[in-house]
Amino acid sequence: MNLTHEYNVSLFDDSAINLIGDTNICLMTVSPTSQYARTHVKAIDWSYVVGSHINLDSIYEGPQISFFEVVIRYLGGLISAYDLSGDDLMLQRAEDLADWLLPAFGTSSGFPVTHYQLGLNPNGKRAGRVVTADVGSLALEFTRLSQLTSKDFYYDNVQKIIDLFDGDQWVSPDRLGTLFPQTVDAEDPESLSEKYSMGGMMDSYYEYLIKQHQLLRGRRSQYSKMYTSAIESARAHLIRTYDIESPGGKNFTVIGSVEAGVFTPTLDHLSCFAGAMIGLGAKLLNRKTDLDLALKHTDSCVWAYESTQTGVGPEEAWLLGGNEYTRWKIVNYKGKAFRELHRSQDRGPTVMDSRYIGRPETIESVYYMWRITGDRQWQDRGWRMFTSWMESCVTEFGFASLKDVNRWPPVLSDHQQSFVLAETFKYYYLLFSEPDLISLDEYVLNTEAHPFRLESPGKPAKRYWSKPDESVNKAYEPPGINEGERGYGTFIQQWDRVDLDKISENDLQVYNKVKGIDTEDSYIT
């Protein structure tokens, strides 16, 4: 997995980074896997990407990381691993990583440098135009770290960002209520004319408003007010309900998009997370009409799965001519529901992106609907989603993507996204687990499904990971490493520092094996 922007080198070695970004092994108490993961966490050198590339005159040259991805996946994963295990090493490594990241906040606005070169200080330079979700979805991780370490400066940096979003400088005739477009520029707050939606590039900004309210136990009213205002704006500008002709009649609720003043009734898989968010907000803030909205939107997202030949939902579908409210007709064919255009109409539903890449958003909302309502229909529908996914995508070595959800037999793409294991499987696992496993009364899940424990004074924390087995750790560690230090480098990181001109031929063969080089075709000399 590559953590850096596409035109730069990887921050960490690719071999075991999922051990940090995936907390499933903590929940499932998988041993010795959890011990192997712990050894990797202990060893990894966060400064590995820095090397000799530092250029003190620029914050945009040299290897860069995606600040947002590192925070939600890896900082969040380490914090969650601590909350689930009580293992001090996880918290120590989270602090180590956070301290490398903190200088990125040193811009003129406080928005972090979103593609950041570790080791540099922006020194008050502009952050420029940034993706809304990239800067607006950092509060949970740094706030929870502040709670655990009693160090306010982690929280202060992200609170400054929220205060900026909550300011009155965002004035534009193009703005839709209190919503934000895909990108924003703190130095040009009146430029708000881009696409609006609750899909990619904006989704987790709204998600973190209600979840930060939950993490803080409502002690700061700002978050609930911002969230409530955003939902009301979404109702006014983005949310539409359409009639679908079927034997029993059906309403189809979408959270669409607006660009240049034009509404498009899009069903974007990424926006299907919103059922979970709106349902959680309904429960926490006692907004009963929002729960009805959450149920309807989740039902529509699940229906998109149930309506394809594979039983798996597409990346994106939309209804052309969105001002007309009758669009789809359900027919029964070979035991499955399919879409059929009205023959009398020349426009209708179109699958714009027919791929499925293992995304978690729909099952995330199904899981929340089950936990919030206790209605077992959500488990039943989730099980059908899971079995359809397995029938279509499971392979000998993993879980492939689908090229077209409406083709049978399935046409596979040889690719498995990292979120398949870190998120999608986690939500399926929790859907069929007892409700007290990661209870939503005791935990808040970040946007990568990492559970953070809610502070409950006097109540002992439940632990899901056994104490470290040092014999396993030592058996896993390569010979010669310094076991007394954190961050001495993983096995592959250490090999990557080797001077190839000064090692023996036997060691060179080991190097090739570690780096995944086919020595029959390519041999380093």
Chain segment 181-200, per-residue pLDDT in tens: 999 999 999 999 999 999 99
Residues marked as catalytic: 69, 203, 315, 361
CATH number for the domain that contains residue 384: 1.50.10.10
5-22 pLDDT, tens digit per residue, is 333 334 443 334 455 666
Phi, psi (rounded to 5 degrees) for 131: -70, 130
What is the phi-psi region of residue 174: left when phi exceeds 0, alpha when psi lies from -120 to 50, beta otherwise? alpha
Report yes or no on 513 lying in a domain.
no
Report yes or no on 10 lying in a domain.
no
Three-state DSSP at 307 gives coil
Report yes or no on 97 lying in a domain.
no
- CA angle, 136 then 46 then 487, to 5°: 140
Q: pLDDT averaged over the chain?
A: 83
Looking at per-residue pLDDT, the higher value among 497 and 363 belongs to: 363
Residue 43's pLDDT is what? 85
- Cα separation, 420 vs 422, in Å, equals 6
Tokens 């990292």 — which residue?
418
Looking at per-residue pLDDT, the higher value among 491 and 441 belongs to: 441
Domain that holds residue 330: 231-440
Report yes or no on 415 lying in a domain.
yes
Annotated binding site for Ca(2+): 447
Over residues 237-262, mean pLDDT = 82
Distance separating the N- and C-terminal Cα atoms of the chain: 27
Report yes or no on 28 lying in a domain.
no
Q: How many domains would you assign to the chain?
A: 1
Report yes or no on 381 lying in a domain.
yes
Looking at per-residue pLDDT, the higher value among 492 and 336 belongs to: 492
Categorize the per-residue pLDDT at 486 as very low, low, confident or very high, splitting at 50, 70 and 90: confident
Report yes or no on 316 lying in a domain.
yes
Q: What angle, 0 to 180 degrees and rounded to 10, lies between the N-to-C axes of helices 76-85 and 88-101?
A: 160
